Chains A and B, each alone.
Chain A
């Protein structure tokens, strides 16, 4: 138990977790408030949840966000895994360290710069080769793949380095082709990293406001963009209700994923 820790540390931990969670709890509590005022409690109500279902702009943007997040998480896992395999298993090749830096760079780049840079390449490409036509779901997805790939590469790279290599070598010795070895041995062994990579990419894509705002076109507003423009007009209990739904969903997802990964490990 925590008894081992000194009193000061316990206080720090309690205050720290209070700081992390108190704002989230206020969001959840006031989503059930019947008053439009978000700070004065006037009685229990679920009407803000009902009004969410009637907000067509919000629902349409949530649909756009889910599509983008599903596509970009899947592609990011594919590309990120390839990049990690290349870096860990292929040994030295020309430009390896440059490639390695390039894979983690999107992670530390300020979003405003990434967003601006991606918009400019889309505009440039459209001018020179006519693709992608205009901006919308496709350009947001491409932007998110680039961002999320970096996270997946790091996760999978860690897992590949930890992995026991003798299994792959045994399969190769028994005459399996490299692709077969990768599909039958490597992929199942790194699957927990692929799962957590996919979930992380999905959450990142669903959460991104800045990059999406740069590369989105008319009619392709994502959920964070719609939330952002409504927050600018002030607080609304409807946003609190939406936040509660998102937080509950994410918490359940993380717990299930944590349980799955934990169970596989032991």
Chain B
């Protein structure tokens, strides 16, 4: 009896279960779902729930046919609105990423150069907004940008404008929202790579007669590259698929792919087209995602090795 108990116990503590549980979970709830999205993107729209036709059908006894139809993809390809949406999402995300980089880089540099107690405080202040509700931070900008909002009222009081500026429901507001919400994602990896830079290298550049700008361009900027890439990917990838920001700040004039997928799914109830759009977006994002993954792997391998 004791022997059996021990056997049961050891089978439960063996590494087998430690691998199977998280691995199995991710396979079932992450990998397989994507295969299903891929599958449904090839099926027809049908009334009822679920609103798509099955791909495989038993035509006669024992004969299984697989119907792949590309109508969803050709539909997306022929409607130039979808192509424009992909393009616009990409442009908005790239501008947002550059904006984050321009604001985030000097901030991260300043934090890395500050004295330790101040540094901890400054870092904590970057992380804090990241923990508070994303939705409510976007909501705050509605109050600031609306025609009778905070900003227009202030500008009017200062006598700078007489009629309120149209700021809300524009592409500008969407980009501003993206920069605001994703700034911490840019600052943290930038800080991590800037903090690691050996300051004697910078001093050596100065000793050899480099001016501050040259020292920055030739020493600091190249050494901070891992942070720049990681931060940019962390902003760019989710920004391309962003839904909340263009929905609340962009109005009807801003077309972004996350919003279109949402509308195809919830308003038009066209699951196959929504799936096809999602697959195309993944194809768009495969390059930035793999860059990020490779960087992440290298960093983790470095950690594991040490």
Contacts and interface: CB of A to CB of B under 8 A. Distances in A.
Contacts of A95: 23
Interface stretch (B57-65, B71-79, B140-148, B219-227): B140-148
Given A2-B114, A113-B37, A149-B25, A161 B304 contact: yes
A124 interface: yes
Contact of B133 (A101, A157, A246): A246
A31 B271 CA distance: 40
Contact of B36 (A104, A112, A120, A210): A120
Interface SS of chain A: helix, strand, loop or mixed? helix
Contacts of B208: none
A266 interface: no
A250 B130 CA distance: 10
A8 B109 CA distance: 12
B128 A40 contact: no
Interface stretch (A21-29, A46-54, A185-193): A21-29
Interface in A116-130: 116-118, 120-121, 123-124, 127
Contact of A231 (B18, B139, B293): B139
Interface residues of A, number: 97
B6 to A, nearest CB: 11
A117 B243 contact: no
Contacts of A104: 293, 296
B133 A38 contact: no
B149 A39 contact: yes
B115 interface: yes
Given A20-B125, A93-B19, A100-B297, A110 B238 contact: yes
Nearest to A120: B36
- Residue in B133, B134, B146 with the greatest tally of chain A CB atoms within 10 Å: B133
A86 B135 contact: no
A19 B103 contact: yes
A27 B304 contact: no
Nearest to B141: A23
Contacts of A2: 114-115, 118
Interface string B188-229: 000000000000000000000000000000000000000000
A69 to B, nearest CB: 12
A197 interface: no
Nearest to B302: A161
Contact of B106 (A12, A105, A157): A12
Contacts of A99: 19, 23, 26
B106 A16 contact: yes
Interface string B75-100: 00000000000000000000000000
B167 to A, nearest CB: 13
Nearest to A124: B36
Contact of B31 (A93, A102, A116, A149): A102
B281 interface: yes
A243 B136 CA distance: 6
Interface in B2-18: 13, 15, 18
A63 interface: no
B28 A24 contact: no
Contacts of B113: 4-5, 9
Contacts of A232: 248
B45 interface: no
Interface string B23-48: 10111111111101100100000000
Nearest to A127: B50
A153 B18 CA distance: 13
Nearest to B139: A231
Contacts of B122: 13, 17
A199 B77 CA distance: 44
Given A13-B122, A124-B36, A24 B30 contact: no
Given A26-B144, A113-B281, A108 B22 contact: no
Interface string B230-242: 0001100110111
Interface of B: 13, 15, 18-19, 21-23, 25-34, 36-37, 40, 49-50, 103-104, 106-107, 109-111, 113-115, 118, 122, 124-129, 131-137, 139-144, 146, 148-150, 153, 180, 183-184, 233-234, 237-238, 240-244, 248, 258, 261-262, 265-266, 271, 274-275, 278, 281-282, 285, 289, 292-293, 296-297, 300, 303-304, 306
9 contacts: A9-B109, A19-B183, A26-B143, A26-B144, A26-B150, A30-B143, A102-B27, A235-B142, A255-B124
The 3 closest A-B pairs by CB, nearest first: A110-B241, A117-B33, A23-B140
